[in-house]
Structure 1
Amino acid sequence: MLECSSMPRYHVLIPCAGHGARMQSGTPKQYLMLNGKPVLRHAIDLFEAMREITSIVVVVAEKDAYWGADLLADCYKSRIAHCGGDTRAASVLNGLRAMVEFVAADDWILVHDAARPGIDRQMVERLINAVSDQESGALLALPLADTLKRADDHTAVTETIPRDKLWQAQTPQMFRYAALQQALSTYLQRHPTDEAQAMEWMGHQPKLVLGDLKNMKITYPHDLTVVAALIQAAQNQNS
């Protein structure tokens, strides 16, 4: 039985077992090069540098032909778990189970997409600081700025959807270890699209915390160029 800790810690879990068919690349997008290093390594380096983060677990497919030990070179918090599942939710759940030996029930788990290399310290600190001990968790997100249209099978507009109070979910998504494991175990067969949805089905109301445009997820080929430019612009502004 998992015990609660007197001072909850923060752990990062990065599901990294997907291929990303929409990327139209022979190499999974998390391993493509971006500004001089693999996409995945950008997030790892950020979390490695944050003293708030106790450990980092990267979940890859059992027979991931693209993974190499050099991807964790000079990392001291990070470890690999070869237990990726068929879906994101399954990979996260398997990763949580792999962490059981060194995580307490009330420790916080920050689940972050491998294909979001634009995450920075300010966003993570904003997320951590926004959640009190009484709350069930939170996620980074952006308020929608564009008008939304619903289309039929022929790409004709059938409805305009009001964007008021609509947010676009990002990551990290941060929840207590035991609560998140319970939610994903309970609803895995319903295929939640993210951790927050599984927590919502359990009756929780995760808190929305302001993210950033440069934290966008790389999905299509042109996204690499966009994210690279956003990251470089942020670095130039801070230098």
Structure 2
Amino acid sequence: MADAEHVPTREPAFWALIPAAGIGRRMGSNRPKQYLTLGSHTILSHTLSIFLEHPRIRGVVLVLGPDVDPDALDLPLAGGRLFRAAGGAERADSVQNGLDFLAERAHEDDWVLVHDAARPCLPLADVDRLLHELRDDPVGGLLASPSTDTIKWSDGAGKVERTLDRERVWRALTPQMFRLGMLRTANAQARAEGHPVTDEASAIEFLGQAPRLIEGSPMNIKITRSEDLELARLYLMQQGRLEGGFRA
């Protein structure tokens, strides 16, 4: 029998979770923004490819709305690494469904990278940095961007109440990377108690934990309005991931 001191320990795996059940009302399009096309592929396909092509991502859980036919989507080749789960009424519900789905296939201490479907310009270097910086962290964290603008706090009536210290203000990006067990518990408890879950970090904060901030690239934009499409096209071309233009 092998000496217990020499029994290898299991390395936690890395999984990606992409909630894509939203309809993107602010886009003003006749279809959800993640199904608009940049070049010859949908925004969703570009986003999925980031993780499916990464050698350290074990698999990707794609959370889709109930009216979406997955077989009709422009999905990248996945080699058995792409899984589908049903979406919920809100983003946090969809994330919870994806986490519940993943809990049947992964370990509680595995890492989950939750990433917005409408962020197709995430540089691979940012994924590598997140994995490297957080792999031994007891809590996890998120990509974020330090503010370069002066930020005003409103009094709720359209007037400035105070000016925030921009040295301490960051914009939350994705992916946000946490342990499967912790995130699943945090998201479920926050929702059950009516706490607003605007992103995964806010659920972890609800448990009294402090996620780490990892500075991310300004290219990692979230496509929200029609004018964002041209900027996303430019960034994808700069990354060598796009040829041609976009069509909405």
| TM-score normalized by the length of structure 1 | 0.90
The verdict on how the C-alpha distance between 1:128 and 1:152 changes in structure 2, with shifts beyond 3 A counting, is same
Report if aligned partners of 1:72, 1:78 keep a CA contact under 8 Å in 2. no
Mapping of 1:137-152 within 5 angstroms?
137-151=140-154
The verdict on how the C-alpha distance between 1:201 and 1:68 changes in structure 2, with shifts beyond 3 A counting, is same
Among residues 207, 225, 239, which one is paired with 2:230 in the alignment?
Answer: 225
Q: Does 1:193 align with 2:195?
A: no
Match of 1:47 in 2: 51
Residues of 2 paired with 1:235 and 1:109: CA distance?
A: 27
Partner secondary structure for residue 173 of structure 2: strand
Match of 2:177 in 1: 174
Among residues 77, 80, 87, which one is paired with 1:74 in the alignment?
Answer: 77
Q: CA deviation at 1:122?
A: 0.5
Q: Does 1:161 align with 2:164?
A: yes
Size of the aligned set, in residue pairs, is 230
Residues of 2 paired with 1:84 and 1:31: CA distance?
A: 16
Unaligned runs of 5+ in 2: 1-8, 242-248
Q: Does 1:184 align with 2:187?
A: yes
Partner secondary structure for residue 230 of structure 2: helix
Among residues 200, 204, 210, which one is paired with 2:215 in the alignment?
Answer: 210
Report if aligned partners of 2:123, 2:217 keep a CA contact under 8 Å in 1. no
Q: Which amino acid aligns with 1:221?
A: S
Mapping of 1:76-155 within 5 angstroms?
76=79, 77-81=81-85, 83-151=86-154, 155=158
Report if aligned partners of 1:89, 1:191 keep a CA contact under 8 Å in 2. no
The verdict on how the C-alpha distance between 1:154 and 1:203 changes in structure 2, with shifts beyond 3 A counting, is closer
Unaligned runs of 5+ in 1: none
Match of 2:20 in 1: 16
Report if aligned partners of 2:21, 2:64 keep a CA contact under 8 Å in 1. yes
Residues of 2 paired with 1:48 and 1:60: CA distance?
A: 17
Report if aligned partners of 1:10, 1:52 keep a CA contact under 8 Å in 2. yes
Mapping of 1:27-42 within 5 angstroms?
27-42=31-46
Among residues 60, 65, 80, which one is paired with 1:56 in the alignment?
Answer: 60
Report if aligned partners of 1:47, 1:56 keep a CA contact under 8 Å in 2. yes
Question: What is the percent sequence identity of the aligned residues?
Answer: 38
Q: CA deviation at 1:24?
A: 1.0
Q: Which amino acid aligns with 2:180?
A: Y
The verdict on how the C-alpha distance between 1:149 and 1:176 changes in structure 2, with shifts beyond 3 A counting, is same
Residues of 2 paired with 1:69 and 1:98: CA distance?
A: 22
- Which whole-Å deviations, capped at 9, do the CAs of 1:125-176 have from their partners, x for residues lacking one? 0001001424210100110101123446675545433312111010000000
Report if aligned partners of 2:33, 2:43 keep a CA contact under 8 Å in 1. yes
Partner secondary structure for residue 72 of structure 1: coil
Task: Compute the RMSD of aligned alpha carbons.
Answer: 1.9
- Which whole-Å deviations, capped at 9, do the CAs of 1:169-200 have from their partners, x for residues lacking one? 10000000000000001001323100001001
Q: Which amino acid aligns with 1:104?
A: H
| TM-score normalized by the length of structure 2 | 0.86
Residues of 2 paired with 1:116 and 1:231: CA distance?
A: 11
